[in-house]
């Protein structure tokens, strides 16, 4: 059995400032794609835009403010990862398959846990 050489990304060879600029551009493109194509992400962005200033105002200490904002950022991060998983699964096949369903369901469960986490953090801080 012969080993098939894996092709490296041509972008992996970039270093320094060019690599940072490329990574920043691609990150912004990913953010824009999620905002354009993912309804749940758009809703979460609106909630973030409304809740983040409230969290800065309602938090009494730097730690409370960090927790209130951090859990909001976590929801966005997990939603982005879930959207990436769904896109990758759909790229492979649009057929119904138990492993594709499992991957998508697990991603959805991660989003749900991040939302529950945000609610618990906000309740614990605001009710203390």
**Tens of pLDDT, residues 14-71:** 788 999 999 999 999 999 999 999 999 999 999 999 999 999 999 999 999 999 999 9
Catalytic residue among 38, 44, 64, 79: 79
Average confidence (pLDDT) over 101-123: 98
Is 29 a known active-site residue? no
Q: Given pLDDT bands bounded at 50, 70 and 90, which one contains residue 82? A: very high
Output b/e per residue, 15-51; b: 16+ Cβ within 10 A.
eeeeeeeeeeeeeeeeeeebeeebeebeebbeebeeb
Q: Domain 39-126 carries which CATH code?
A: 1.10.287.3610
Domain residue extents for the chain? 39-126
| Two structure tokens written together for 93 | 């096949």
Question: What pTM was estimated for this model as a whole?
Answer: 0.86
To the nearest whole number, what is the mean pLDDT of the chain? 93
């Amino acid at each position: 059995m012969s080993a098939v050489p894996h092709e490296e990304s041509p972008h992996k060879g970039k270093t320094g400032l060019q690599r940072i600029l490329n990574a920043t551009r691609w990150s912004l493109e990913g953010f824009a794609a999620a905002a354009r194509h993912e309804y749940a992400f758009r809703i979460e962005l609106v909630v973030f835009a409304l809740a983040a200033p409230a969290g800065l105002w309602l938090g009494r200490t730097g730690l409370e403010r960090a927790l209130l904002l951090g859990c909001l950022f976590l929801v966005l991060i997990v939603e982005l990862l879930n959207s990436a998983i769904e896109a990758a699964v759909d790229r492979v096949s649009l057929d119904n398959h138990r492993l594709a369903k499992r991957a998508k369901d697990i991603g959805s469960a991660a989003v749900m846990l991040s939302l529950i986490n945000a609610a618990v953090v906000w309740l614990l801080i605001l009710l203390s």
